[in-house]
Amino acid sequence: MFLLSFNLCHSSGTDAFITLFFVLSRRISLLKTVKKYLSRFILCLVGISLVGFGAFYYGVNKGQQNKAPQITSKLISKRLQESAELTSSKYYYSHMGEFDHQKNFYGWKIPFTKKHFVVAYDGVIHAGVDLRQVEVTVNQNKKTIDLKLPEAKILSHDIDQHSLKVFDESQSIFNPIKITDYQGFAKDQKAKVEADAIEKGLLVQAKKDAVQAVKKLLHFNQNIESNYQIHIH
């Protein structure tokens, strides 16, 4: 009798334990499933948030980049000043000059004191305008930009040293040729060539070319190209 009761009790306890184990297993499995899908849901939310934030940031940044700065006299002057001196024309030439010198005494040329040489060389003169002196006026109502350029001038004058040739050089022991003779002669010849280039219209052409160059420079700005008329004097 006792054995039967024990078996019954033992059987009932075992079944209860198995039932409890089964229930707990189901709950644990359910919790794992919920946790799994909850993690995926959270990851999806984070991903969507990042994508949304990225799109918003890109849109704001793109909008700031596409927003053209307001065209003002100060802005244009700054852009032009960055180019400083604008070389708009170049004058290439070949030149030959003659140097003669003889010592004299109260207008009387002293014998055996003559020195002489002939020099031939190539050079280039750069002419243009100083963009730092441009006067700029912007009319927002009429959408016009007026610029007053300074007069064209010679910006630089270079002699090709490799082309330099000296002919018919002669001198006297009483009046030898010195380096200062060449330097002074070169300076004088530069001035003569520049005067000749100006007489031939170098600066006039440089001013005309500068007008076109400045227009092209400003037209790099799409806002100016599309919305403004440029007048250059």
**Domain match, 86 and 126 both:** yes
Contact 136, 77 (CB under 8 A): yes
**Domain match, 132 and 212 both:** yes
Model-level pTM?
A: 0.61
Q: Exposed, middle or buried: residue 83 (CB in 10 Å: 0-12, 13-18, 19+)?
A: middle
> In the listed set 67, 99, 120, which residue is the last one of a domain according to the structure?
67
**CA 38 → CA 25, 50, 146, 228, distances in Å?**
19, 18, 67, 59
Mean per-residue pLDDT of the chain: 74
Lowest mean pLDDT among 148-152, 167-171, 202-206: 167-171
Mean predicted confidence (pLDDT) in 89-106: 77
**Domain match, 169 and 207 both:** yes
> In the listed set 16, 36, 67, which residue is the last one of a domain according to the structure?
67
**Domain match, 50 and 30 both:** yes
Q: Each residue of 16-74: pLDDT tens digit?
A: 555 544 555 555 565 556 555 555 655 555 455 444 444 444 554 554 455 556 778 88
**Domain match, 111 and 207 both:** yes
Q: Each residue of 172-198: pLDDT tens digit?
A: 666 676 767 677 888 888 999 999 999
**Domain match, 56 and 154 both:** no
For 46, the token pair is: 């984070």
**Domain match, 79 and 57 both:** no
Between CA 105 and CA 112 the distance in angstroms is 13
Q: How many structural domains are present in the chain?
A: 2
**Domain match, 11 and 116 both:** no
At position 173, the amino acid (one-letter code) is I
- Among 1-10, 20-29, 166-175, top mean pLDDT goes to 166-175
> In the listed set 39, 67, 95, which residue is the last one of a domain according to the structure?
67
21: containing domain: 1-67
**Domain match, 151 and 62 both:** no
pLDDT at residue number 177: 64
pLDDT at residue number 167: 81
